[in-house]
Amino acid sequence: MDPKIRKGLLTIGAVGALITLAACAPSGGGGVTQSNTGSQSGEIVTDIANVPEQTLTVWDQEIRGGQNEQIEKLNAAFMEKYPNITINRVSQSFDDLEATLRLALTSDDAPDVVQANNSRAIMGQFVSAKQILCLDDWAEAYGWNEAYPESILAFSSYSEDAQDFGEGCVYGLPQVGEAVGVYYSKKHLEELGLEIPQTWEDFVAQLETIKAAGKTPLVLGNVEKWPGIHVWGPVQGAYEKAADIRVIGFGNPGGSWDTEGNTAAASELQRWAQAGYFNEGFNGADYDTVWQEFAKGEGAYLIGGSWLGPDLEASMGEDVGFFLPPANSVNKVVATTGGTGLPFAITSAAKDPNVAAAYIDFLTNDDAMKVLAETGNIPVRNASEFASEQSGVIADIMNGFTDLTTEGDLLPYMDYATPTMGDDLGAALQELMEARITPEEFVQQMEGYYTAFVG
């Protein structure tokens, strides 16, 4: 999900750097040599310099600090390179985008390029309704298949009928990688005599220590329901096998929610809530308000996505740090929710799909990855190459993402699983943490939603 909401601060010598970027041909990872000026004939065109003047309408949710900065820079560079293309950017929050995009794709003024949540509820529905295009032909032309690991492309791949998730045609291309981890206040930990926990058991023990000291161990704003799913992910990864989580997370047949591991995870999360480890009234608190309160000193830990890093650094400076949920006895390695930011997709209503594809390539080529890193985002490709150039929490996040994708277990966002799983799981987690249902009832609910979908 992302909400998957998806991020530092960069000073590029404004005009000079943008001109430099503009001069860079789209690379995507494989030097494309095709050149054409036709664009409406159905053939794949990668040189759009001579297509008719037009406006490319793009809907995105890159609204936070570093997120907005990178997209503004790349959009300006794209229009510098292609003066025949004007970008009409429509930017809105993740929640607003989710609420308006379905209707927008059926209107006469449908956008050309959109960021579409990977989940079955969003991208899967768009694939089924044939409202977005398969990108395989452009992937071959631009070399995306070579530039992106297969495991990353799987997060936006569906069969043509949208029944199978994680395989088939690629319908979107992401810019950033994501990982859900633990933000912390260095000052708070130092005052409590604590260090970064090295095992999951150490982390859980610290929560009680912090609570006993009269501090708030964890902060959460969960009125929107999806933030609770991000907290659930690392807890589930500590008690359930990663391979089994992937099956139910992608909504593919062959798995089960009704297991000892999932029940243990539900019990642990409920215990945290009932023990007062979260801030008071967390289920009625706004997500953005709570992370901003954390930045001002409320709470020791915040379980959240990597996309919060630049904003927290801007507010907290060197006081904020980040670590992945430490390894546990079940999976033996770090196991946490993550994957990619919302992929950019081409709508079926796009006026010129080749222009849209060129734009997506420009947002995701090697030069764009550099801009993403410099603005505090995690490049979905080559993150380890940029980590050494960063410091503070951004370096923590980049190194963590690299470790997660090379040595750990990257788990899908659990709302991917079914068209209604975001609401179903989010609501059930609220009930679980308020002890309105038992852990056993929680897993039975989720098993019912899962089996009803996979048949």
Mean pLDDT by 10-residue block, N- to C-terminus, for the chain (455 residues)? 35 31 34 36 88 96 87 97 97 85 88 92 92 96 91 89 90 94 96 96 97 97 97 97 93 95 98 98 97 96 93 95 94 90 95 97 96 88 82 90 86 90 96 98 98 92
- Sequential DSSP letters for 405-450: HHHSEEE--GGGSSTTHHHHHHHHHHHHHTTSS-HHHHHHHHHHHH
pLDDT for 141:
97
Cross-strand partners of 85:
54
Q: How far apart are CA 370 and CA 128, in angstroms?
A: 35
CA-to-CA separations, 194 to 186, 188, 209, 242, 442, in angstroms, rounded: 9, 8, 9, 29, 33
Cross-strand partners of 344:
115, 173
pLDDT for 58:
96
Q: Mapping DSSP to helix (H, G, I), strand (E, B) and coil, where does residue 168 land?
A: coil
Task: Output the CATH code of domain 178-339+397-454.
Answer: 3.40.190.10
pLDDT for 449:
97
The CATH 3.40.190.10 portion of the chain extends over: 14-176+341-381, 178-339+397-454
Q: How far apart are CA 46 and CA 26, in angstroms?
A: 9
Q: Output b/e per residue, 392-421; b: 16+ Cβ within 10 A.
A: bbbbbbbbbbbebbeebbbbbbbbbbbbeb
pLDDT for 270:
98
Fold type of domain 14-176+341-381: D-Maltodextrin-Binding Protein; domain 2 (3.40.190)
DSSP structural state of residue 317: G
pLDDT for 64:
80
pLDDT for 31:
34
pLDDT for 308:
93
pLDDT for 384:
77
Short-list 257, 295, 262, 251, CA closest to 422: 251
